[in-house]
Chain A
Amino acid sequence: MSGVGSLVVSMESSKLPEGRSYLLSDIAATGPRGGITLTTAQFIDTHIQQLDEILALIGVTLEITATQREAAEQHYLAIAKWLGGVEDAPFRLYEPQIYPQGSLRLGTTVKPLSDGEYDLDLVYELQMDYTKIPRPVTLLDLIELRLRQHGTYRDKVERKNRCVRVNYSGQFHLDILPAALDLVCGGTCVRVPDRTTQDWKASNPRGYAKFFEDQAATATAAFGEVAVKASVEPLPDHVPHEEKTSLQRDTQLIKRLRDITFAGNYELSPISIVLTTLAAQNFGGERSVALGIARVFNSVVAKIPPHGRLYVYNPANPEEDLSERWDKDRDAYSAFCEAMRQWQRAWNALLELRGIDKITAELERLFGPAPVKRAIDLQIKALEASRQGGRLGIDRNTGIITTSVSSTISMVPRNTFYGD
């Protein structure tokens, strides 16, 4: 089952709470099952709001479902327990801290295309100076060994360059990334082993999450800092799409665009962390997702240098080049630049496009037909519900149908369309 349940339309037209965006008050969550309520307090006022509503409804269907998230959490906690919670766990003396990183931590997960899997990234951080560990790859080996001692994980383990992967076929893979403290860099900086170079790589997953949250908070009230100091940090609480920050929603939609654009050549596809960083760094504080995404594309395209390449560093640790793959893979870099330019053109044209059918067709091309059809259906049903409730008015200056109230708005009387 996907995330959107039944459409419930509130019969009372409520006032918009102060300081909340149109969208957040318009589409309110009704609990963990992911049903949504369209109150249509203000059906539509500007084309940006109407587009934002469609984009929010698309985003709702791209969310991980409550069931999938529970499964992810169970896998995460079980693995964390096996790695960190028992007597003979490796590195027990170094007080490993286990915490999530990546999209589940940031709240930017998107439903994979039909054949894809969710990835869940987990950091296994030893409270010791990395320079005291003679062979970086030992960390990876010991984690792999530990996992192979467990009946459930034995056959699911896969060695990767910087992590050990546990495959839950068809739904998830869980990447365990060992890390040790980088005291010179300080703060939450860590070093992670790299198999290929047999060396350490700089990183800072906690700092990155903080950076992303701080950027997101430039548009909305900061969400409460998760100050859990337990050795196993829980996954962040599940936040329904419509309560997410606009940066989280921008990022989700950009990742979905990537999934659709690169469906045929996944190997060239820009990785999520690069897109997420670009979205956050170029975020302008827009509450509107339509305008926020436009800003990101315009500003990234402007930063693509004429020669050489674009570098995307971890903002919390400039030693970590998140885009290092582009050094070797020029095709992937060209594909990224081309995609960015295409997205920029398409998005700016979308903002100017008129005609629900034309906009629907373009959104279907960009995000895939299924989530768009669903969004458009929900929007028209919300309009009809307002009509049935006798709450529709018409702005006599434009002819635009609205649920707002002002002196130029006159109520739409009841009617029955008739004839063939």
Chain B
Amino acid sequence: MGTNYFRKRPLTIPQQVFKMSSNWPGFNFKLKPGVALWTGAIQPTPLSETYTVQVRYAIGTRPTITVISPALRKNAKGEKIPHRYFDGSLCLYQPKYGEWTPQLFIADTILHWTSLWLAHYEYWLATGEWHGGGEHPTE
């Protein structure tokens, strides 16, 4: 394990699946042709709701994180939810900073950021302010 040569190769689906099942035993795994699907519950803070989220990953694409339930809502001001892709999935990292690359485990990154995103989402609903920072695409 562990030469530079190997580290530069993307982790395989089985590697991701193995790490997910050992670190996040509460998540269910399903394999569709070429696509890994994990579904599980995340409660971002003890006073928060518990969200069912789905992580979808295929080699060569970014992991897609969708909140299945409860449905995400606009805040009291009627503003749209920040930091989401057009399909409603969560924008958890800035691709150009290399915060997540296919060489990294989803189990060590994506789920953490999902919980952090959900925490900020609830505080955003409560206060109307997004305190979690982040960047918006220019243009």
Partner-B contacts on A (CB < 8 A): 44-47, 49-51, 353-357, 359-361, 373, 376-377, 379-381, 383-384, 387, 392, 394, 396-401, 410-420
Report which residue of A46, A51, A355, A373 has the largest number of chain B beta carbons within 10 angstroms of its beta carbon. A355
Instruction: Give the size category of B's interface with A.
Output: 35 or more
Q: Do A47 and B46 touch (CB < 8 A)?
A: yes
Task: Report whether A394 and B47 are in contact in the complex, using a CB–CB cutoff of 8 Å.
Answer: no
Contact partner of A400 (CB less than 8 A), chosen from B24, B46, B85, is B46
Contact A50 B126 (CB under 8 A): no
Write the nearest CB–CB distance from A289 to chain B, whole angstroms. Answer: 15
A377 partner residues in chain B, CB cutoff 8 A? 127, 129, 131
Q: How far is the CA of A394 from the CA of B111 in the complex (A)?
A: 9
Supplied contacts A357-B125, A397-B26, A413-B112, 16 more A-B pairs, CB within 8 Å:
A44-B46, A51-B47, A354-B47, A357-B126, A376-B127, A377-B127, A380-B123, A381-B131, A400-B43, A401-B45, A410-B108, A412-B112, A415-B93, A415-B116, A417-B117, A417-B120
Q: Is the CB of B131 within 8 A of A384?
A: yes
A399-B41, A416-B99 given; A387·B82 CB < 8 A: no
* Also in contact, A360 and B127, with CB within 8 A (given A399-B111, A415-B99): yes
Supply 19 A–B pairs (Cβ within 8 Å), ascending by A.
Answer: A354-B47, A355-B49, A355-B125, A356-B126, A357-B125, A359-B126, A376-B126, A381-B131, A383-B123, A397-B26, A398-B41, A399-B44, A400-B115, A411-B112, A416-B134, A417-B113, A418-B134, A419-B137, A420-B82
Tell me if B109 and A413 are in contact (CB < 8 A): yes
Residues of A within 8 A of B23 (CB): 396, 410
Tell me the complex Cα distance, A116–B35, Å: 64
* Contact assessment for B112 and A418 in the assembled complex, using a CB-CB cutoff below 8 Å: no
- Which residues between 42 and 84 of chain B lie within 8 Å of chain A, taking CB atoms? 42-50, 75, 80, 82-84
Is B133 an interface position by the 8 A CB rule?
yes
- Known A-B contacts A399-B41, A420-B83; the reply to A380 vs B94 at CB < 8 A is no
Complexed CA–CA distance, A416 and B80 (Å): 19
- Report whether B127 and A420 are in contact in the complex, using a CB–CB cutoff of 8 Å: no
Interface centre among A46, A49, A357 (most CB of B within 10 A): A357
Q: Determine which of B45, B108, B133 lies in contact with A416 in the assembled complex, contact meaning CB atoms within 8 Å.
A: B133
Q: Is the CB of A357 within 8 A of B122?
A: yes
A398 CB contacts on chain B under 8 angstroms? 41-43
Assuming the A-B contacts A384-B132, A417-B133, are A401 and B109 also in contact, with contact meaning beta carbons closer than 8 angstroms in the complex?
A: no
Q: Report Cα–Cα, A379/B131, bound state, in Å.
A: 11
B130 to chain A, nearest CB (A): 8
B104 to A, closest residue via Cβ: A413
Residues of chain A lying within 8 A (CB to CB) of residue B133: 384, 416-417
Partner of B127, one of A45, A373, A416: A373
Given contacts A380-B123, A394-B115, contact A413 B108 (CB under 8 A): yes
User: Do B126 and A49 touch across chains, with their CB atoms under 8 A apart?
Assistant: no
- Which residue in chain B gives the minimum CB-CB distance to A373? B127
| CB atoms of A399 and B91 under 8 A apart | no
Which residue of chain A has its CB nearest to the CB of B50? A354
User: Which of A44, A381, A387, A412 makes the CB contact (< 8 A) with B45?
Assistant: A44
How far apart are the CA atoms of A418 and B24 in the complex, in Å?
Answer: 25
Contact among B41, B92, B123 with A417 in the assembled complex (CB-CB below 8 Å): B92
| Minimum C-beta distance from B11 to chain A (A) | 15
Taking a contact as CB atoms under 8 Å apart, the answer to whether A50 and B95 are in contact is no
A9 to B28: give the CA distance in the assembly, Å.
38
> Which residues of B sit under 8 angstroms from A394, Cβ to Cβ?
111-112, 115
Given contacts A354-B47, A355-B122, whether A419 and B84 have CB atoms under 8 Å apart is: yes
